[in-house]
A and B are shown apart, each in its own frame.
Chain A
Amino acid sequence: MTDNGAMQRFRRTVHAAAWAAALGNALLVVVWATTGGGTFWPKWVILATALVIGVGWWIETVDREPRVRVLLRGRGLALHAGFSVLLALFMIGVWLCSGLGYFWPAWVILALGLAVAAHAALERSVRDEQLQERVEELTVSRAGAVDAAEAQLRRIERDLHDGAQARLVALGMNIGLAEQQLGKDPERAAEHLAEARTAASEALKELRDLARGIHPPILADRGLGPAISALAVHAAIPVSVGIELPGRPPAAVETAAYFVAAEALANALKHAEASRIDVDVHERGDALVVRVLDDGRGGASEENGGLHGLRQRVEALDGSLRIASPEGGPTVIEAVLPCGR
């Protein structure tokens, strides 16, 4: 079975087939009885259908066992086919040993073959449906990711243009002026140089803030725990940070997780009037879960551009974002990010 969806359909099919076989066989028995009895020929059909249904029933039963399910993942059809072949060989063996009469195993083999073919068709259709859904999902999330990246680049360009670039122009201008005044009026020159230095400091500060917004240095240096703790230090209300990670997740996941925590924290601090905030990061299966809870007044929505941007960021990594924020609070923002390990 490729996954639960395929298994559920397989199970339904087996049940339907069992009922159909029971009815059909009963009908055959009736036909046999009304046509005057004699050799009990429906036994071949009953044998064949019982074997086919038995195989299906056996597969769906062992699949309920979690450890078997792990082993079976994606191999249900192979198991079905293999078991059917074994059964067919066994039948042929019985036929060989019982004196090579009428080749009755043909009926059983036909039925087993049809069942395997039906199973293969079912798996293929489930897989096609899943692929189709996945393509739709990816189309949406990729468009979102492109939009988000585009918006971010535009913002960075604007920040550079209005900030550091403008400061550097002012800096160059002031140095030029100072150069001009150096011989004539050293005092004026010194003033221009002081202004140039101020412009340089401001440009540096703006570049630093910009760099931090793209990828905070402490995140690269130390990972999620210290980076989120550093965010909490800057908060004006108590923030409890609980982080349990066995190792460092992939860089893209780590960055997205950081920005989920940063944005959710910033929202809670700005709008929620909360008295405390909990940030929790842990692994669930092979995904990273980031959960930010505040006891504020709730009502957070994605109309707020930041949260929408977060969703795009999370979905670009095939993750999901859940925002629960009823009026009156509390607000829970939870991102689940697959780590692909």
Chain B
Amino acid sequence: MRAVIAEDLALLRDGLTRLLRDNGIEVVDAVDNGDALVHAVLREEPDIAIVDIRLPPTFRDEGLRAAIEVRERRPETAVLIVSQYVEQAYARELLADGRGGVGYLLKDRVMDVDAFVDAVRRVAGGGTALDPEVVANFVGRGHDRLERLTPREREVLALMAEGRSNASIADALVLTVGAVEKHVASILQKLQLPPSEDTHRRVLAVLAYLEETL
């Protein structure tokens, strides 16, 4: 797998590069600003771009904007945003095209190396990886379309949003995989998502969740 990194702090850029290389992911370019990211992606055609939100020159949300531009100009590029903070609004913007291959994680998650590398591979493979902090406010809040879900189904949806597989959700909630599959089917049906490939529907379900909570 080939990755491009955009991170302005050299310490983190080098650390991230080493972490990915040690785990068999080729880092083809590591840049420190949004424009350079877009150029690097168009030149190197990587599988995934790993991008910090806050980049020069204004240190606001350049990284997010650059990531969205990358998705427009080369849609097959997966994008994983890493940041010191998470905002639901940003997650929704990233997911807005409903295509998956998008992740949004706190930088803290890098510390759990296996889980982080797993998330990189999952996003590169077209899945999602939303930080638990993004989904934290999900359970227990009433929103029109989500009202129809049972509390258990909301828990399952929150874990789906993190990008977890059915097996991993089953582990987390101490359920059988069969039970999780049933919940997932029920969620997709209640959210009235059209039948299509499973990954895609899961992304749409997450997007539905984000739209309802904003």
Contact = CB atoms under 8 A, between A and B. Distances in A.
Interface of A: 197, 200-201, 204-205, 208, 211-212, 217-218, 220-222, 226, 229-230, 233-234, 236
B60 A211 contact: no
Interface string B91-119: 00000000000000011100110000000
B88 A233 contact: yes
Given A221-B61, A222-B61, A233-B214, A201 B111 contact: yes
> Which secondary structure dominates chain A's binding surface?
helix
> Which secondary structure dominates chain B's binding surface?
loop
Contacts of A205: 108
Contact of B87 (A200, A201, A218, A236): A218
Query: Of A217, A229, A236, which is in contact with the most chain B CB atoms at under 10 Å from its CB?
Result: A217
A229 B61 CA distance: 17
B190 interface: no
Nearest to B62: A221
B137 interface: yes
A234 B108 contact: no
Contacts of B214: 229, 233
Contact of B108 (A201, A217, A230, A233): A201
Contacts of B54: 217
B141 interface: yes
A211 B85 CA distance: 10
A222 B106 CA distance: 19
Interface string B56-86: 0000110000000000000000000000110
Given A230-B88, A230-B89, A233-B213, A221 B60 contact: yes
Contacts of B84: 204, 208, 211, 217
Nearest to A236: B141
Nearest to A203: B108
A234 B213 CA distance: 9
Contacts of A218: 85, 87, 89
A325 B96 CA distance: 42
Contacts of B112: 197
Nearest to A234: B137
A234 B87 CA distance: 11
Interface string B37-63: 000000000000000001000001100
Contacts of A217: 54, 84-85, 87
Contact of B111 (A200, A208, A221, A230): A200
